[in-house]
Amino acid sequence: MNHEESYFDGGLFQLIGYSILGTLITTATLGICLPWAYCMIYNWEIKHTVIEGRRLEFDGTAVQLFGNWIKWLLLTIVTLGIYGFWVNIKLRQWKTMHTHFVL
C-alpha cells in the first residue's frame, strides 16, 4: 500500500507569536477570551497539518467554544469540581469534531 506523505509545516516562531498573542489577549480580558486564543492556535496548528497528502482545516469558532466553556464551567461548579476531569476530553472532542480535510 502506497501512502502519501504526512507532515506538519508550521514554524516555531509562528507558534511562539500566536502563543504570546493568545496569552496577552486572555490576560487583558481576564480569561474571557481564552476560547478565542484556543481557536486561534488550533486553527494555526490544523491548517499546517497534512495527513496522507490531504491538508486539514478547522472550522470551529470562539463563539461556539465559549458556549461550551460556560456549560462546562457550570457543570464543574455543580459537581463540586468533579466534571473538571472531563473538560480536557470534551475540549479535544470539540476540536476533533471541527477538524476536516480540505475539499
One DSSP character per residue, 64-82 reads HHHHHHHHHHHHHHHTTTT
pLDDT in tens, the chain (103 residues): 557 899 999 999 999 999 999 999 999 999 999 999 999 999 999 999 999 999 999 999 999 999 999 999 999 999 999 999 999 999 999 999 999 999 8
In this predicted structure, what is the pLDDT of residue 85? Answer: 95
In this predicted structure, what is the pLDDT of residue 2? Answer: 58
**What is the distance between the alpha carbons of residues 100 and 55, in angstroms, rounded to a whole number?**
9
Residue in this structure with the C-alpha cell 465559549, named with its chain if needed: 66
Domain ranges for the chain:
7-101
In this predicted structure, what is the pLDDT of residue 95? Answer: 97
